[in-house]
Amino acid sequence: MPTTADIQATSHHQTHQRALSALSGMVHRGDQTVAARRYVSIAAAVAAVGGLLFGYDTGIIASALIFVTQTFSLSTAGQEWVAAALNIGAIFGALLSGPVSDRWGRRPAIMVAAAIFIVASLVCGLAPDVRTLIGARLWLGVAIGATTQIVPVYVAELAPAARRGGLVSLFQLVFSLGLLLAFFVGYELSGGAGSWRAMFMLGAIPALLLGVGMLFLPESPRWLLHHEREHHAVSILYKLRGHQDIVRQELDDVLRIGAATTAGEHRASLKPRWIRPALIAALGVAAFSQLSGPNVIVYYAPIILSQAGLGHSAALLTSVGVGVTSTITTAMGIALIDRVGRRRMMLWMLPVAALSLFVLGGVFLDPAPLTGVRLVLMVASLLGYIFFNFGSLSVAVWLIAAEVFPLFVRSKAMGMASATVWLSDTLVSLVTLSLVAALGTTGTFWLFGVINVAAFAFVWKYVPETAGTSLEQIEGALRSGTFYAGTFHTDTGHRTDTRPGD
């Protein structure tokens, strides 16, 4: 009697043969790689609008919270809960969207998230009381948590290995553009106590763009292969790669790794020991991306700076500078991350981010209003921190989580990484103003500086370089036990030395 392994091997062989048969049966039009590159770029850019939802609603609370506080007479705890409601919803959205995208596909799951965001944005703007506002922001969080889980995985599964870093990181760039847009909208609409309503309702526009745009994008070919829809998968993969030989090689890699996945591994999910290095790397970077403090600036910069002696308008204008800086550094990160590498960028930039926070904290040692040199130093260190933190952890976080896990567990593991981001961000958003009250502005910034140093140590010890390697090569390294920091070996013998300073 055939064993389960025999049946599974036969099934994978048949899947492989059907995929190759579909490829050989296609009408080939020669080298279409230029058109394919354009198609991949367009698909990644449209999907990355999910980052605009994330960025806009993350940033708009920094401008709106001042006026929401006036409208509803919020206490410090009330302000923290309005800000944190989105994060709490995002934790659930990240965890629940994995099974949905595994069952129904990446593309439909993104479209559902966009629809939820549209409705929740409108309810936020019409909220008659703070409870309704918090409830609507919880649903906004569910939608945003889902996009942070699904979009990076979707783009990583569409992208070729050589371009994966830049294309997945478009999500973070559009997030930064969303922040910048939110800061400009907040600055322009800051004329009255009720202006926060329009700020929230405008968030429905990018969600509508995402939902409509996804109608014209393909499903992930790896998801289709995993669900034995070979003809559809091969057709999409050919559009994405543009050359028969490239498609055949990628099919061989995907299906070979799929054949190595046992039924027991599917049932065990994240339990196999060989997956643990990926879990440590992805979840650690996810946690430090928020615990290192970027959203302390995003959420509370206007309030903290106002308390330090700047007027509301000056504080909001400084927030616009934060948005511009985060956009520039993210664009730079996208240009460099596939050439310099994920690990090396973090190891080079995190020490400067920590130093910037130590300087920023020192500026606030003097309780006098910020003027002259101290004001210039405050702005320079604030923007310096944003530049070096956003250019390292913030650029790498979604990419690393989307690429280090094997296909059979990628969606679930990405959900865990995304939930870790949101859980860490929730913790930060809940305690920031309380930390400022307990430690002072100086102590708070110094605390986050120490956390940036800890993030550097974590990356040094646990995060290997994955630039230039296919998703299947990364999985092969995990299975063979060669996925470790310092030097990364793939299953094909490729070796990437990742020691900083090389």
Per-residue pLDDT, averaged over 301-318, amounts to 63
Look up residue 180 and give its DSSP letter.
H
pLDDT score for 220:
92
CA 111-46-415 angle, to 5 degrees, is 55
pLDDT score for 258:
63
Which pLDDT tens digit goes with each residue over 50-66? 999 888 987 788 788 88
Consecutive H or E run containing 456: helix 407-462
pLDDT score for 145:
93
Residue 6 has pLDDT above 90, yes or no: no
pLDDT score for 302:
65
Residue 307 has pLDDT above 50, yes or no: yes
pLDDT score for 119:
96
The domain at 30-260+271-497 falls in which architecture? Up-down Bundle (1.20)
User: How many angstroms separate the CA atoms of 466 and 490, rounded?
Assistant: 9
pLDDT score for 385:
92
Confidence of residue 3 (pLDDT cuts 50, 70, 90): very low
Phi, psi for 159 (deg, rounded to 5): -80, 145
Which pLDDT tens digit goes with each residue over 119-177? 999 999 999 999 999 999 999 999 999 999 999 999 999 988 888 888 998 998 898 88
**Which residues on neighbouring strands pair with residue 488, listed in sequence order?**
496
Per-residue pLDDT, averaged over 412-433, amounts to 86
Which pLDDT tens digit goes with each residue over 222-280? 899 888 788 888 888 888 888 777 888 877 777 776 665 555 555 546 778 889 999 99
Task: Output the average pLDDT for the chain.
Answer: 82
Which pLDDT tens digit goes with each residue over 171-211? 988 988 887 888 788 878 877 777 889 999 999 999 999 99
367-372, Cβ contacts within 8 angstroms, sequence gap of 24 or more = 368/309, 369/308, 369/309, 370/308, 370/309, 370/310
User: How many angstroms separate the CA atoms of 408 and 226, rounded?
Assistant: 8
Q: How many CA atoms lie within 13 A of 244 on its CB side?
A: 11
Which pLDDT tens digit goes with each residue over 452-473? 999 999 999 999 998 888 888 8
Percent of the chain at pLDDT > 70 equals 83
pLDDT score for 135:
95
User: How many angstroms separate the CA atoms of 472 and 250, rounded?
Assistant: 9
Return the domain boundaries, the chain: 30-260+271-497
Most confident of 62-76, 244-258, 334-348: 334-348
Residue written as tokens 């989580």? Answer: 401
Q: Are 203 and 137 in contact (CB under 8 A)?
A: no
The pTM (predicted TM-score) of the whole model is: 0.79
Which pLDDT tens digit goes with each residue over 20-58? 555 555 545 555 677 888 999 999 999 999 999 888 987
